[in-house]
């Protein structure tokens, strides 16, 4: 954005300053919706605040049961899901969601602290899952989210 300063009395502009600000279009891109499932409130809150700071609209829940309710209400662009949660873990959550919303298969990012669990590993291979192993860097989460957006548009 360019701004001109007032003209001098003899009608000659004094200075032109380039403020380095681009004018934004009035049509804003739609906000991407993220569903975050994590039973530990401290971890869930940190991830939620980070995702909000990245301009995502975030719904965070402590279990697969609440997550299932949310997926019945609305579609999410990204589903970030812990594998080990009480009552309904990541795998048990995945199957009904993808049965009702088949396109959601491409939207999942799973995370777990159980890297060498054969049952979890089998599930990840079976569904060709995007997986982050705790502890992970937020840059790894960003990359996984961007991979989803590139794949599904």
Tens digit of pLDDT for each residue in 72-85?
999 999 999 999 99
d(C-alpha 62, C-alpha 145), whole Å:
20
Average pLDDT, the chain: 85
Question: What pLDDT shows up at residue 116?
Answer: 86
Q: What is the pLDDT of residues 104-137, one digit of tens each?
A: 999 999 999 988 899 999 999 999 999 999 999 9
Query: Once rounded to an integer, what is the mean pLDDT over residues 139-143?
Result: 97
d(C-alpha 89, C-alpha 65), whole Å:
9
- pLDDT at position 7 over 60: no
Query: Once rounded to an integer, what is the mean pLDDT over residues 3-17?
Result: 46
Question: What pLDDT shows up at residue 115?
Answer: 87
The pLDDT > 90 percentage for the chain reads 73
**Lookup result for tokens 């049961």:** 65
**What secondary structure, in 3-state letters, does 85-148 show?**
CCCCCHHHHHHHHHHHCHHHHHHEEEEECCCCCHHHHHHHHHHCCCEEECCCCHHHHHHHHHHH
Contacts of 152 (CB under 8 A, 6+ apart): 77, 103, 106, 107
């Amino acid at each position: 954005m360019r701004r001109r300063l007032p003209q001098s009395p003899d009608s000659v502009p004094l200075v032109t300053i380039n403020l380095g600000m681009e004018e934004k279009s009035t049509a804003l891109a739609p906000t991407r919706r993220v569903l975050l499932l994590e039973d530990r409130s401290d971890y869930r809150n940190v991830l939620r605040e980070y995702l909000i700071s990245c301009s995502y609209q975030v719904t965070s829940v402590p279990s697969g049961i609440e997550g299932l309710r949310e997926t019945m209400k609305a579609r999410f662009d990204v589903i970030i899901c812990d594998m080990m949660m009480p009552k309904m873990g990541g795998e048990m959550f995945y199957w009904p969601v993808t049965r009702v919303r088949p396109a959601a298969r491409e939207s999942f990012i799973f995370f777990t602290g159980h890297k060498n669990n054969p049952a979890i590993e089998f599930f990840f291979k079976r569904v060709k899952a995007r997986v982050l192993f705790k502890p992970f860097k937020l840059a790894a989460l960003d990359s996984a989210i961007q991979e989803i957006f590139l794949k599904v548009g």
